[in-house]
Structure 1
């Protein structure tokens, strides 16, 4: 008998493994069903290329929560180049790095028209790690529709004790908004928060321990970027 020729075609198992690795890298580490399945996520028709990632994603995604002067000045200089196309491409890519960056760019450009895309991404929670940025951006916009996305998130995900996603970041955002708006939206979530957070956080029985100082610094940084850019433009 002749030597068996090795089949170099990828097997179905290889395909599934490669897809799993790709999803994991994108941040889709937990697959889950939710009542938000009917919401349609914004997705790019064409996958972004490496040159776009190198220019508009890689230099920023790991820095989005900085608040130092060097970062502020860097984004102020970049701001005129951040186009709607750049924001759309980032938000439409299935990856936590791009989606986080796109949401941040929408905020520093003060573009509320992206609230629906960001809010839908938040509710569907298709990728991890992006929720903190979504929460910050929606809290910065402080728009009625955006605030509703935050509340809808807590309504559902605080009852999903099996899903440890961005409940803490969203709870913090709603608490921050209550402070600046003089509202009490958080009250109806406190009991669910205490139940959800048992064993997950220190001082989980006291929602007063959920500080908003860091979030305020992050939002102040966005405002500083916008105000500095406006001042430079007016000179």
Structure 2
């Protein structure tokens, strides 16, 4: 089933095969939210196997705050060739794997023109796993537009204790841009994590800071 078909069936009545495809793509928790009227960027066609082989498979299972030397070099090599159009195609796929890689490359290359695409994906949270990548990209971009997307996310998702999404990563991203505005969410964070003993904001902040340092190193090495 193609990515474009999955987009259309995300909230409709679906058969068992579609349900499995959605789950494998990362749509494990489907929820209603106030951002449904926002139009998310979508690809018109499915990504080719060649495209996925080149731009996704080496990168999607990595954590930027602890890259080994081989993966670091692969990111540098790819970053010298990647373009905004490639990143748009990554972000426009349904699956979380291309999306998180697209967020990584957007951060590394400083493609701030993709802020709206990434910000809307973050707010809608249609697939799991990619949210930390969106948060990292917005943290790297900085500026009022990124702050606004992060705050919109926190205003809603910190009040949804039933949704264990990317609240920690987003709050950490906000901290790296604007500690003062981050502090305004600490009470809501404490309420949100009251039944989540393994949610550690200090660790999330440390990971975000380290990831931003690596993004900077990759950007400099590929320029």
Same fold (TM over 0.5): yes
**SS at 1:184's partner residue?**
helix
Are residue 187 (structure 1) and residue 183 (structure 2) matched? yes
Q: Which position in structure 2 is the counterpart of 1:10? A: none
Are residue 102 (structure 1) and residue 95 (structure 2) matched? no
How many residue pairs get aligned? The number is: 209
Q: Which position in structure 2 is the counterpart of 1:224? A: 217
State which structure, 1 or 2, has the greater radius of gyration over its C-alpha atoms. Answer: 1
**CA offsets 1:69-102 (integer angstroms, 9 cap, x no match):** 4333322222222122211111000011011011
Answer whether contact 2:87 2:102 (CA < 8 A) is retained: yes
Q: Which position in structure 2 is the counterpart of 1:12? A: none
1:34 to partner: Cα distance: 0.5
Q: Does the C-alpha gap of structure 1 residues 211 and 119 become closer, same or farther in structure 2, counting only changes over 3 Å?
A: closer
- TM-score by length of structure 1 reads 0.83
Distance in 1, Cα, partners of 2:58 & 2:33: 33
Answer whether contact 1:159 1:192 (CA < 8 A) is retained: yes
- TM-score by length of structure 2 reads 0.87
Answer whether contact 2:123 2:153 (CA < 8 A) is retained: yes
Q: Which position in structure 2 is the counterpart of 1:157? A: 157
In the TM superposition, 1:51-90 aligns within 5 A as 51-65=50-64, 66-90=66-90
Q: Which position in structure 2 is the counterpart of 1:116? A: 116
Are residue 47 (structure 1) and residue 37 (structure 2) matched? no
Q: In structure 2, list runs of 5 or more residues that go unmatched.
A: 1-13
1:211 to partner: Cα distance: 5.2
Q: In structure 1, list runs of 5 or more residues that go unmatched.
A: 1-14, 231-235
Distance in 2, Cα, partners of 1:112 & 1:147: 13
1:140 to partner: Cα distance: 0.9
Answer whether contact 1:67 1:218 (CA < 8 A) is retained: no
Q: Which position in structure 2 is the counterpart of 1:213? A: 206
Answer whether contact 2:75 2:218 (CA < 8 A) is retained: yes
Q: Which position in structure 2 is the counterpart of 1:30? A: 29
**CA offsets 1:202-231 (integer angstroms, 9 cap, x no match):** 587xx6x4552221111111111111223x
Q: Does the C-alpha gap of structure 1 residues 202 and 229 become closer, same or farther in structure 2, counting only changes over 3 Å?
A: closer
Q: Which position in structure 1 is the counterpart of 2:132? A: 132
Answer whether contact 2:90 2:101 (CA < 8 A) is retained: yes
Q: Which position in structure 2 is the counterpart of 1:201? A: 197
Distance in 2, Cα, partners of 1:150 & 1:210: 18
